[in-house]
Amino acid sequence: MSFDTLGLNPAITRALTDAGYTEPTEVQASAIPPALEGCDLMVASSTGSGKTASFILPALQRILAARGDNAKRREKGVVYGPRILVLAPTRELAMQVDKAAVTYGRHVQGLRCTTVVGGVPYGAQLKALRGPLDIMIATPGRLLDHLTSGKAILENVEMLVLDEADRMLDMGFIDDIRTVVDHLPEGRQTVMYSATFVGHVGRLAQDLLRDPQRIEIASHTDTHENIEQRLHWADNKSHKDALLDHILTEKEMEQAVVFTSTQRDADWLADRLADMGHSVAALHGGMPQGRRTRVLQGLRNRQLRVLVATDVAARGIDVPTISHVINYGLPMKAEDYVHRIGRTGRAGRNGLAVTLAERMDSGMIRRIQHFTTQNIPVATITGLEPKQPEPRLFPQRPEGRFGGKPSHHGHGHGQGHGKGGFGGKPFGSKPFGKPAHQQRGDGFAPREWTPFERNDRGHQDARRDNGGFVPHGQQAHAGRGAFDRAPIERKTQGFAPAPRKGVAPAKGGFNKPQRPRQGGFSR
């Protein structure tokens, strides 16, 4: 199949040819035709599968159709807002989508795209919102700011795209998304992309989409043939640091992304590696957007050899020369492991994904292997072998990403029959097996992994990478869980006086001296 057979406008196919693309990927071949027909879509597609083009190309086609001879033209000077709205979880991913729209729409005359993201001044965004606009790529938080102020007009949106919806919900954007949707026309087309459609993501899809077609492509259970995975067990933090230092000095290491669990760890580890002579920088949600842009540019220009990043900040990184992904700190969710290792092995290259784990991480390793239905091969480095025995990991039975059993019938438009990718269970239903409070990873449905269960190390910061902010009333406290509050010292000073010797509080709030009983004992 070629792009010419998908029914795309010649201006779009010419831009694809200029970019060097001749054949659509599997997700593009499956999603573009129904998207061109105006159908709502639920697409489960892993990172690196070409999903961005699968919704940008139909969006450009819709824009060209709106500019046709018989189409209603917009009056000059009137603010209509965008025709296409794309919601993305992070600034980096929004910038990547904007770059794809400009690349594929280079022959669309007068195409106007803008990004509305946090961390940048409002002035340029307000100017773009007042002028003619075709495509808006936004993060939910900043778009909600413009909606509240009345600057963003969404009454004429014809197509809504939710990119990486699972990540947006994990970041707490569920209410923001619903508020944005309330400002959109009911007759719009909605396309939703997510790594999984079980749980709260599936319920959101039920609320927003109308009779959607479900497409599952490049499942997380795929073998990632061009990515070699390794697991190194470390006895302690010093051992893990030694393993990391050895891997970063290997000749095969071209560029590496080292993932940490917290923003504080990212800064600390980047400083440590810089002191050792590595060209390194940190990337996390607590950094200003200008600095994050400069870091990514340095990575693309190969000025940086090592990038130390957190999960949120690393979404949307597309640098083909990344040869290594190293999990120094394990992810909070098993799905994030797949997104992490997808940063390497891109553009037909081979990549290496290395996980450095201590015994306390064995539960997360088990969840990752359960989610991917694959065992991560254990490896050792000569001279750095662990002294402790390898933890025993018990296998578990996986689930499909649409709430059913894993697919054994290929890809495409699943309908939930038999053991297909969408399963035989009703969409959005609860996992089978034990009740939710009894699910302990014993071969039934995977238990929801919450930050309160995280067995964090003493050196890690309690502040997770949640965009640079800590929830109100919660403080960073080393050695406690990810979102545990700092211990509160109970003090009586200023409330009630401490009882004096020989005096006990009596009813009514007055203190009366106790009278000694016979025998010299007092009550």
The residues, ordered by sequence, that sit 6+ positions from 274 with a Cβ below 8 Å of its Cβ are 280
Output the pLDDT for position 460: 39
DSSP string, 86-97: EE-SSHHHHHHH
277 φ/ψ sector (left φ>0, alpha ψ -120 to 50, else beta): left
The tokens for 369 are: 């292997």
65 and 8, same structural domain?
yes
The tokens for 56 are: 């940008």
Determine, yes or no, domain membership for 68: yes
Give the separation between CA 456 and CA 451, rounded to whole angstroms. Answer: 10
C-alpha 471 chain-centroid distance: 19
pTM of this prediction? Answer: 0.58
Determine, yes or no, domain membership for 331: yes
Determine, yes or no, domain membership for 273: yes
Are the C-beta atoms of residues 11 and 108 closer than 8 Å to each other? yes
Give the separation between CA 41 and CA 504, rounded to whole angstroms. Answer: 72
Determine, yes or no, domain membership for 96: yes
356 and 233, same structural domain?
yes
Determine, yes or no, domain membership for 54: yes
The tokens for 136 are: 């808006």
Give the separation between CA 160 and CA 251, rounded to whole angstroms. Answer: 46
Give the separation between CA 162 and CA 25, rounded to whole angstroms. Answer: 20
pLDDT tens, residue order, the chain (523 aa): 678 888 899 999 999 998 888 888 888 999 999 999 999 999 987 666 788 999 999 999 999 998 865 556 666 767 889 999 999 998 888 998 999 999 999 999 889 999 999 888 888 899 999 888 999 999 999 999 999 999 999 999 999 999 989 889 888 899 999 999 999 999 999 999 987 787 888 889 999 999 999 998 755 555 567 889 999 999 999 999 999 999 999 988 999 999 999 999 999 999 999 999 999 999 998 888 788 889 988 998 999 999 999 987 666 677 888 999 999 999 988 878 888 888 888 767 889 999 999 999 999 999 999 888 888 999 999 999 999 988 877 554 444 455 544 433 333 333 333 333 333 333 333 333 333 334 333 333 343 333 333 333 333 343 344 444 434 444 434 333 333 334 444 444 444 444 444 545 444 444 444 444 444 444 4
The residues, ordered by sequence, that sit 6+ positions from 451 with a Cβ below 8 Å of its Cβ are 332, 464, 481, 482, 483
Are the C-beta atoms of residues 322 and 255 closer than 8 Å to each other? yes
Return the H-helix or E-strand segment holding 64: helix 51-66
Number of domains composing the chain: 2
Pairing of strands 351-357, 324-327: parallel
199 and 128, same structural domain?
yes
- pLDDT digits over 339-391, tens only? 888 888 876 788 999 999 999 999 999 999 988 888 899 999 999 999 998 88
161 and 58, same structural domain?
yes
212 and 242, same structural domain?
no
128 and 101, same structural domain?
yes
The residues, ordered by sequence, that sit 6+ positions from 157 with a Cβ below 8 Å of its Cβ are 81, 82, 83, 84, 85, 184, 185, 188
- pLDDT digits over 146-161, tens only? 999 999 999 999 999 9
Return the H-helix or E-strand segment holding 472: none
261 and 204, same structural domain?
no
Residue 432 is classified by DSSP as S
Determine, yes or no, domain membership for 341: yes
Give the separation between CA 370 and CA 334, rounded to whole angstroms. Answer: 9
Among 192, 217, 242, identify where a domain stops: 217
27 and 174, same structural domain?
yes
257 and 194, same structural domain?
no
Tell me the residue range of the domain where 137 lies.
3-217
177 and 54, same structural domain?
yes
The tokens for 77 are: 């000077």
Give the separation between CA 52 and CA 88, rounded to whole angstroms. Answer: 11
Output the pLDDT for position 119: 81
Among 337, 372, 407, identify where a domain stops: 372
89 and 29, same structural domain?
yes
Give the separation between CA 408 and CA 405, rounded to whole angstroms. Answer: 9
Determine, yes or no, domain membership for 377: no
The tokens for 194 are: 């997510």
Give the separation between CA 86 and CA 363, rounded to whole angstroms. Answer: 36
Among 372, 401, 434, identify where a domain stops: 372
CATH number at residue 308: 3.40.50.300
Of 104, 108, 111, the residue nearest 18 (C-alpha): 104
309 and 160, same structural domain?
no
**What separation, in Å, do the N-terminal and C-terminal C-alpha atoms of the chain show?**
93
